[in-house]
Amino acid sequence: MLRLPPSVKIVKVMSTTVRRGDFIRIAGNAVEVLDLIQLPGNAKRLRLGNGEFLTLVAKKQLYAIRVTRKR
């Protein structure tokens, strides 16, 4: 089993819970979410670190790697 540091979590995200800084896996590569653009119907367009965009519809779920930073 993969052991992650306490500051790194794998979380289920939807358009309403995805955040800037999350990493999602696309075609086997982890890509950072750089920006979020709100679309109608609770969908979001994600601007990714590889220069591409991904539209995440309201009910679609993805897994993301989220790094929590100490405050």
Domain boundaries, the chain: 8-67
Which pLDDT does position 47 carry in this prediction? Answer: 97
Assign 7 to helix, strand or coil: coil
pLDDT at 1 over 60: no
Please list the residues that pair with 56 across neighbouring strands: 44
User: What's the pLDDT band for 8 if we cut at 50, 70, 90?
Assistant: confident
CATH architecture of 8-67: Roll (2.30)
CA distance 39 to 26: 21
The span from the CA of 33 to the CA of 30, in Å, is 10
User: What are 46-61's pLDDT values in tens digits?
Assistant: 999 999 999 999 999 9
Q: Which residue has the higher pLDDT, 5 or 46?
A: 46
Instruction: Specify the pLDDT at position 2.
Output: 60
